[in-house]
Structure 1
Amino acid sequence: MVNLAAFLTLFAITPSLAVTPDSNPHDRGCITPTGIDDETPGALSSANFQPLDVDNIINFTIALQGSRILSRETPIQFQLINSASGTFYAVLASYEPKALDPWGRVEVMNRRRRCKGSSSADEALFHLHRSVTMAYNSLYLIRRYTTPDLDTIMSAEIDRLGLDSTKCKNDPSECDDNSTPWGLAYAVINDTLSWFSRDGWNKAGKLAREFNPRPYQDWRDEPYHPVNPPWDVTDKTRWTPLLEDNKLGYLFHQTHVVSHIGQTGKTMYVSNEEHCRRTLEDPKYDLQKELNLALERSSRLDDKSKMEIEYFDSKVTSLPPLLDQYWNSKNVSAFERRYENYALNSAIYEATLLSWRLKIEHDLIRPTTVAQQYGVGKVAKAFAGPGAGIQDIPVDQWEPYIRTMPHSEFPSGSSCFCEVFREYVTLVSGKDDVDVPLVAKFAAGSSKVEPGITPSEPITLSWSKWSDVYEACAQSRLNGGVHFSASIPAGRDLCSGLAKTAREAVLDLVNGRVPKHVTPFDSPLPSQKRCKQRA
């Protein structure tokens, strides 16, 4: 359970909603919500409900989702977060007078949109329906995305609230009625699962093999294979699988994570043409010079830089708390937070596809492998390992302060993602400066790399500009030893503008307009090669 408070207000639901005036020509259909305090078969009685604190329901959901998501590699984290974020947006959009779902489907939303009566009792029931629908969405999200043990926990919470966790569990036809909270929630989750089956990521693994599938395996006829096998670096410029271990005696070599998604993963609000237009030139590294710079940075590590490295190592647990600090200082509706959060997640999703295509295209070597190849017989001052401080060590035994992820070096995905974050928040706030400094606090000895040692005393990191957040995030990848110099500006330049594109698309949806580009919901499985390979 990680940083739950930071996520909580992003998912909170309140009656106050705000959207811009309707300029869409489509008629807005709506249906009368059923299933609470009426004669619908299987209807629930609100008299049995505990106080429906949706904040706590979402808190529960994020806790359960968080433990699962953080165990995945970075690109898969972003895919799962974006899909979950999309379901929350889709539910709330159904209770808005004109908003469209993530795919901009007018007719579908006309069949799902809830009518709201004019009396105070009607309005109260309307908001109760919305809360119950979100609760069932949370239940089905956990039930159908995760494991039975988490389903058991979530089901118990739903039952405790006076709802019925067995709805549609044994008989999916119970959810055929779209006017009930559980029917709408089930339809939203079905949409997401259907999209997953055709989004080109191979989440279930069955695109590569029918039996004993391996989730997220490269499913193409010509899957990616590294030029260098783990045990023989024949090309000293290309990515090589690193040797890792579980600290319990098991050693294994890396496989490049989701090597296919840059070519096969479906974009959402960026067209294939726009995606393929974004390219990068070869950085033409002087690898010996870059290695020397990496070692020099390693030799200068102190408690502050170490905690910055650890903080920004996970974008999932670093960027949302900073965004949360911003939202807490503003008077905005919960729906605005929700669709803005979905816009950000959509931009990061597009950035993931883009940066992964370029990683495979350039296929460049990581600093650790360069040290192993260029450092034999040499000694340099550098970080000597957890708890070992800065020492003179054999260069070929040097390793970065943090784990080197199982994907190639150029461009930096972190630089790309943090640029998307910076651009997005600057668009929302209208300025680079923050009104109240953003902070991240660390207790003495709270380091994950050097627990009980680092930092030697409490540390507070602080940023007064969103651009400062980007710079700290980007520099942390260099200080951490996992990237070379050119990878950082390359990641920034590659992904610049994605936040604007994604946010404009989501604002169109919120205001009932079909975006300039949105990949159709029923689009087939993508081809195996979206873009031409760089010569």
Structure 2
Amino acid sequence: MKMYLSIRHMIYQIRKNICQVGLLVSVLFCSMHSVAQVKQDFDFDVDNAALDVVGFGSLPALREHVSANYGDASLVFRYAILLTNAWYDATAAYHPTAVGVYSHLGRRPQSEATNRNINIAVFYASYHVLNSYMPTYKPTWRKLLLDVGLDPDNNSTDITTPIGLGNVAGKAVVAGRLNDGMNQYGDVGRTFNPTPYADYTNYKPVNTAYKLKNPSRWQPDMQRKGLGLYKIQQFVTPQFALAEPYSYEDPRDFEMPPPHNSNHRNRKAYRQQAKEVLEVSANLTDELKLKAELFDDKFSSLSYSVASNTTARNLPLLDFMQFEFVVNMATFDAGIFVWQEKYRYDAVRPFSAIQKLFKDNVVEAWGGPGKGTVTMKGRDWKSYLEEADHPEYPSASTCFCYAHAQAARLYFGDDNMTFNLTYPAGKSRIEPGVTPAKDTLITYNTWSKFAEECGQSRVWGGVHFQAAVDESAEFCPMFGNLAHDYMTKLVNGTAELRAPSKGRDLDTLPERFKFTKPSDKDDDDEDES
């Protein structure tokens, strides 16, 4: 094991140095602890199948099929939780006491708990999850196994072997989460022409992209998708609020306070929070822009924090599987709650409020890629980041980062972390060739600072008001606690075998919050444009 750790540490240092001098085409490759292609010389006794092959090998398909910038949280985190759940369940039998979530596969002798066996189990478990989540890429998933000398057609269910453990555990996770409320196959409420992950809650926005009827409510934005090609936002997977959590029973047990500052009838506060976003926009630095981009990309931020701390802490493979699973559980379960609250409050994004309040007034703000700070009419203002496809309150990214950080703190028993990521000059995603002006190192030494700046980056990026960040920061470490508690039961072997998940009924969605006048008159139907 010591030889394994020293070799992995050496490999990590080499890759870290490559990333820091900017020799790789993409910062993401470095952030994912990967080289420019899936390793053809994968060593089952030394390497980590999850990081070195499965993680990197699935990213191009995820970018193409699911999320172009890895920012669509509900879909990206479901991918992550399915994979890491399968990795954990497939390897639990090699731990002295651990049991899986959706399969209890007995105990293997400690003499069999080798890196080779653990890696083989991970490959086969991953194969089933990837085929279920992105079935159109089956040839890609077959190649992942073939390239390391494994047979994707080996369907053994002999749980005395790593292949059998991987097959049985992977299939159990797929079956266990298939009907978890996310509508994976798009067949909820329809027989023909299924649409995977389609909304079945019948959510409809109060506003349109063309008219802000109610300035307190979310307005879908019109976003550029190509030369002359634009899309109008839809609330992405509002049914995420109905999904079954891992670490608690029901998100209805929790509720955030209302976003009173987003009530446009609370005029002073409504205007003040918009002015705060404008002020930040006018004072963006290269560092703030890069941090906004970093935390917008959930793999470059959250996944890299796992990879870098796995190496820094010299985690053995079994411990890595636990760590990956618990932080992804924390974020996934936090997301279910956040989507419930987004559905409840349906709150306005900064771009709508700013364009309404300062429509014909001159404001000072960021003027677009490469433009710096300029003066413009309020109606022309745009946020540095593109808004995600869901209402503003609470901040999902803030919640994810605080849940993730708390789960990591509890797992390691301290607040220390290792995070060093260098952006070469001109490698900004939003301002390529311009930002940063020189190589810029982003570093974090504590999970607390990592989570804090993750939250603030949503204000720097112009996509959230401060209140949405503050409330998520206060509330969401709880989901790290809950994930840690459930993970403890899994590892000590006291957790019961989980039945296949089932999403909640539509009538359990919260009532839509009413932003009211002092007279309590509902203003949802009043034309305020």
Relative to the length of structure 1, the TM-score reads 0.81
Q: Is the 8 A contact 2:349 2:391 kept in 1?
A: yes
CA deviation map 1:443-492 (0-9, x unaligned): 00010101011111111122333222122111111111111121111111
Q: Is the 8 A contact 1:280 1:494 kept in 2?
A: no
Q: d(CA) in 1 for partners of 2:215 and 2:42?
A: 63
1:326-367 CA-to-partner distances (Å, cap 9, x unmatched) read 332324322112112211111111100011110110111111
Q: Per the alignment, do residues 276 and 2 of structure 1 end up closer, same or farther by CA in structure 2, a change over 3 Å counting?
A: farther
CA distance in 2, matches of 1:528, 1:329: 45
Residue 351 of structure 1 pairs with residue 334 of structure 2: yes
Residue 373 (structure 1) shift: 1.8
1:116 is matched with which residue: 109, 116, 119? 109
Q: C-alpha displacement at 1:442, in angstroms?
A: 0.8
Aligned pairs for 1:69-468 (under 5 A) are 69-70=62-63, 71-72=66-67, 73-103=72-102, 108-109=103-104, 112-116=105-109, 123=111, 128-148=116-136, 150-168=137-155, 175-220=156-201, 223-262=202-241, 264-272=242-250, 275-285=252-262, 286-434=269-417, 438-468=419-449
Aligned residue for 2:16?
Answer: none
The amino acid across from 2:295 in the alignment is F
Residues in 1 aligned to 2:472 and 2:99: alpha-carbon distance in whole angstroms: 32
State the partner residue of 2:505: 527
Q: Does the CA contact (< 8 Å) of 1:371 and 1:397 recur in 2?
A: no
- The correspondence of residues 440-519 of structure 1 with structure 2, limited to 5 A, is 440-514=421-495
Q: CA deviation at 1:251?
A: 1.6
Structure 2 letter corresponding to 1:446: K
Structure 1 5/229 Cα, relative in aligned 2: closer, same or farther at 3 Å? Answer: closer
| Pair 164,278 (structure 1): closer, same or farther in 2 beyond 3 Å | same
Counterpart of 1:52 in structure 2 is 44
What residue number does 1:18 align with?
none
Residues of 2 paired with 1:511 and 1:473: CA distance? Answer: 32
Residues 384 and 391 in structure 1, CA contact (< 8 A), matched pair in contact too: yes
Residues 424 and 161 (structure 1 numbering): CA distance in 2 closer, same or farther, change over 3 Å? closer
Is the contact made by 1:60 and 1:154 (CA closer than 8 Å) also made in structure 2?
no
Matched AA of 1:185: G
CA separation of 1:279 and 1:376: change in aligned 2, threshold 3 A: closer
- The alpha-carbon deviation at position 6 of structure 1 amounts to 5.1
Aligned 8 A contact 1:2 1:63 in 2:
no
Aligned twin of 1:27: none
**1:18-57 equivalence runs, <5 A:** 52=44, 55=47, 57=49
Deviations 1:179-232, CA, capped at 9 Å, x for gaps: 454443232222222233310111111103221112212223xx2111112222
* Unpaired stretches in structure 2, ≥5 consecutive residues: 1-25, 35-40, 263-268, 514-529
Residue 493 of structure 1: CA displacement? 2.2
Mean Cα displacement is larger for which, 343-352 or 422-431?
A: 422-431
Q: Distance in 2 between matches of 1:412 and 1:438?
A: 23
Q: Work out the CA distance in 2 between the residues paired with 1:5 and 1:113.
A: 37
Q: Is the 8 A contact 1:415 1:474 kept in 2?
A: yes
Given that 1:312 and 1:476 are in contact with CA atoms closer than 8 Å, whether structure 2 keeps it comes out as: yes
State the SS of the aligned residue for 2:218. coil
1:532 positional shift:
4.5
Q: Which shows bigger deviation, 227-236 or 403-412?
A: 227-236
C-alpha displacement of 1:4? 5.3
SS state at 2:336 partner: helix
SS of residue paired to 1:69: helix
Change (3 A) 1:493 1:208: farther
Q: Give the Å deviation of 1:178.
A: 4.5
Asked if the contact 1:340/1:503 (under 8 Å) is kept, the reply is no
Paired with 2:317 and 2:421, the residues of 1 have a C-alpha distance of 24
SS in 1 for 2:260: coil
Distance 1:325 1:52, change over 3 A: closer
The answer (yes or no) to whether the contact 2:355–2:379 under 8 Å persists in 1 is yes
Q: Based on CA coordinates, which of the two structures has the bigger radius of gyration?
A: 1
1:25 corresponds to: none
Aligned equivalents of 1:432, 1:132: Cα separation in 2: 33
Deviation at 1:426, TM superposition (A): 2.4
- Note the C-alpha offset of 1:141: 3.2
Q: Is the 8 A contact 1:84 1:141 kept in 2?
A: yes
Q: Using the alignment, how far apart are the partners of 2:422 and 2:114 within structure 1?
A: 41
- For 1:6 and 1:428, the matched residues in 2 are separated by 22
Amino acid at match of 1:405: A
SS at match of 1:441: strand
Between the aligned partners of 1:302 and 1:50, the Cα distance in structure 2 is 41
Separation (CA, whole Å) in 1 of partners of 2:386 and 2:354 = 15
Shift in CA distance, 90/375, structure 1 to aligned 2, threshold 3 Å: same
Contact (CA 8 Å) 1:283, 1:486: kept in 2 or not?
Answer: no
List alignment gaps of at least 5 residues for structure 1. Answer: 10-48, 118-122, 169-174
Question: CA separation in 1, counterparts of 2:162 and 2:414?
Answer: 40
Asked if structure 1 preserves the Cα contact closer than 8 Å seen for 2:425 and 2:438, the reply is yes
Using the alignment, how far apart are the partners of 2:117 and 2:147 within structure 1?
Answer: 18
Query: Structure 1's 314 and 126: CA in aligned 2 closer, same or farther, altered over 3 A?
Result: closer
Residues 1:457 and 1:50: Cα distance change in structure 2 (over 3 Å) = closer
Q: Quote the Cα distance in structure 1 between the aligned partners of 2:355 and 2:455.
A: 24
Q: Does the 8 Å CA contact 1:242/1:254 hold for their aligned counterparts?
A: yes
Structure 1 residues 462 and 361 mapped into 2: Cα distance closer, same or farther (>3 Å)?
same
Given that residues 224 and 260 in structure 1 are in contact (C-alpha distance below 8 angstroms), is that contact kept between their aligned partners in structure 2?
Answer: no
- By how many angstroms is 1:305 displaced? 1.0
After superposition, the CA RMSD in angstroms is 2.6
The residue number in structure 1 matching 2:3 is: none
Equivalent AA in structure 1 for residue 62 of structure 2 = I
